[in-house]
A and B are shown apart, each in its own frame.
Chain A
Amino acid sequence: MRRALLLGLLVALAWPAGALAHARLKAEHPQFRERFEAAPARVVLRFDQAVDALANSIVVYDTRGKIVSRPARNGADPRTVLAPLQRVPRGAYTVRWHALSSDSHVVSGVYTFGVRMNAPPPTEAYGASGPTRSEDVVRWLYFAALALLVGGLGFRLLVLPRSIPEALERRFYIVTGIGAVGIIHVGIAAFIMRSEDALQLPFGRLLYGDLSPVATGTRFGQAFIAMTLGFTWVLALLFLAWLTGRRALLWPTLLLALVFASGLSLSGHSAVDSSWFTQLADWAHLSAAVLWVGGLVQLAVCVWPAAPGLRREAFLRFARLAPVLIAVLVAAGVYLSILRLPRLSDLWTAGYGQVLLVKLGLVSAALAWGAFHHLFVRPRLERTGWARRSLVGEGAVAMTILLLAAILVNAKPPDQAARRTSLVSNVSSSPSNPP
């Protein structure tokens, strides 16, 4: 049985392409996010090999979901597919394409173009529903991984900047390493999920979906590229610090991680149309939060079990750092809240405000917990057996705050929602759905 399975696997690997051969898009007219002053007469796609055109191989939608293209057909060159367009007025248009390769494999893609206006990013193409709950969870995991990495590095450099026991050092590198690897993996998952939403494809067909318009044509995609590459270097530096035992290498690691964490502030949904100062405030808010949460994790997961002799010193030094972090966190948070919710009533009338209200409640609870540590636990640290559990509790509340922060980053503040009419918002009013 085992041999048969092994043989089957080898055969499957040897001839995976018996019935497969998929084409790739080489060129397109209109191009990704191209702006026209006069409406184009047709859409032409050129592939790297011959493809079969079906009637719906190219479908062009306007912002209301009306189809403005005629049935597609092959061009004179069997590698091209074209679809004539109706005379279209000023507006943004979404091209959804599917091509049947010679082996019956369907490759797909989506992109946008504009007539006398700028085209929206493909993530706001007609049919895309915007960030989902799964994406909120993935963004939360991203924040959590960032906290493990950045908070861990900050803790090691600012709270315990000296030689520490080997067991503690090992735990520190394990926790920060998990954070660095997690950031890269979760980032890839987030990118694929966002692309899946734009492409509107089931998983099997998503494997052959062209992601390049999302990668290069959106802020999210550009931030994904920059952050993925940046954090691979952070991971390499972290590894080098471990390998050589040089603590000084952790400084560039921390600085690089903080710089690339700004990609979240630059790519979040609420970052659109905001000033550089707002984005800076967002980055300061995020950085202070992950340093604080990651520091709590280091105290509870690394110092307490691995270095009992350092508990008091680490706790007291972290207690000196935490108020600074919390001050930055609160100041930036208040500024951003006022900016995004200009009316106080938005806090209870708008969905964004309601999530923010819950987040503020949890922040207050975490601050009270921190104050309890500061006032009651610190003087009795040597006699308190439950300090670790209490730290874990505060850390758990902080992690929940990060979840709410993830939801808020993906959500649209009410003032922006009113100001901008996105293509996404037209989905519900549309009479027809894309394939």
Chain B
Amino acid sequence: MPPPEHVHWLFASGFLALGLFLLAEAVVGREVWRKRRWRAYLWPSTMFLMGLGMWPVMAFFTSSTLHMLAHGAWAEVMMLAGAAELGLASGKLRSPLWRLAIVLAFVVTGAALLVHEQNDWFFQRSAFLHHLLGWTFLVAAVFPLGRALRPRSAVFASGFALAFVAVAVMLYSDRDVAPVFGHLSPMAGEPHR
């Protein structure tokens, strides 16, 4: 069983990959990005697989009910958003309303992050990052929403991509052994390196 920090870092790598795919799409434009069919499936399938990979986290890390439910919510919305985008890319889904699935995923993820973190902002690094991640997802939900309404907007496309890069950086910084923000509270135990 991997320790929790490793799970965070592995998911950070997934988000970084998502960010790079979407940044590349924002740079070259949708027409070029979709010239090869596999590329249209690339980021949605990555997100779908990340959702699938979140279920073991829910099932194996059961230190509290709240924790378990939060991870289940993330798993579910990632799978849903990935599935909706895959359906749209393949033409199986036609209604543009399905584009709102990723907006829903951002909102649910942000809210679940804030609700499941019961410590104060400055209690310890992970608490700080959970608050920051939660607010990042909530605020950044404007980008997928804008992208759904204006698919050709470079601003929304870039913002959407950079949100994933930011999330990746935060997840890499998470856990006590990663002293990016220092050890914030003596209540959180002995400081690590």
Contact = CB atoms under 8 A, between A and B. Distances in A.
A and B: direct contact (Cβ < 8 Å)? yes
Interface of A: 13-18, 20-22, 24-25, 48-50, 79, 102, 105, 107, 188, 192, 195, 206-212, 214-215, 224-225, 228-229, 232-233, 235-236, 239, 242-243
A16 B63 contact: no
A232 B117 CA distance: 26
Nearest to B120: A17
B76 to A, nearest CB: 8
Contact of B111 (A13, A17, A195): A13
B64, B92, B134 interface centre (most CB from chain A within 10 Å): B64
B64 A79 contact: no
Contacts of B131: 14, 17
A172 to B, nearest CB: 14
| A-B pairs with lowest CB-CB distance, top 4 | A17-B120, A211-B62, A20-B118, A215-B62
Main secondary structure of the interface of B (DSSP, over half): helix
A273 B134 CA distance: 47
B59 A229 contact: yes
A239 B52 CA distance: 12
Given A50-B187, A211-B64, A243-B86, A21 B123 contact: yes
A17 B134 CA distance: 13
A16 B114 contact: yes
A242 B83 CA distance: 11
Contacts of A49: 187-189
B92 A243 contact: yes
B119 A243 contact: no
Contacts of B48: 236, 239
A13 B134 contact: yes
B65 interface: yes
Contacts of A224: 59
A74 B88 CA distance: 58
Given A210-B64, A242-B92, A228 B119 contact: no
Contacts, number: 102
A192 B55 contact: no
B12 to A, nearest CB: 22
B62 A212 contact: yes
Contacts of A208: 64-66, 118
A18 to B, nearest CB: 7
B60 A239 contact: no
B115 interface: yes
Contact of A232 (B52, B60, B118, B188): B52
B146 interface: no
Given A102-B187, A207-B66, A13 B55 contact: no
A206 B118 contact: no
A20 B59 contact: no
Contact of A17 (B62, B68, B127): B127
A215 B48 CA distance: 26
A17 B55 contact: no
B189 A18 contact: no
B121 interface: yes
B60, B68, B134, B187 interface centre (most CB from chain A within 10 Å): B187
A207 B117 contact: no
A212 B188 contact: no
Nearest to B72: A188
A79 B186 CA distance: 12
Contacts of A13: 111, 114-115, 134-135, 138
Nearest to B113: A13
Given A107-B64, A207-B66, A209-B64, A233 B52 contact: yes
B56 interface: yes
B153 interface: no
Nearest to A17: B120
A25 B62 CA distance: 11
Interface in B77-91: 79, 83, 86-87, 90
B52 A243 contact: no
5 contacts: A13-B114, A17-B123, A229-B55, A235-B79, A236-B79
Nearest to B54: A232
B64 A229 contact: no
Interface in B153-175: none
Contact of A22 (B62, B90, B118): B118
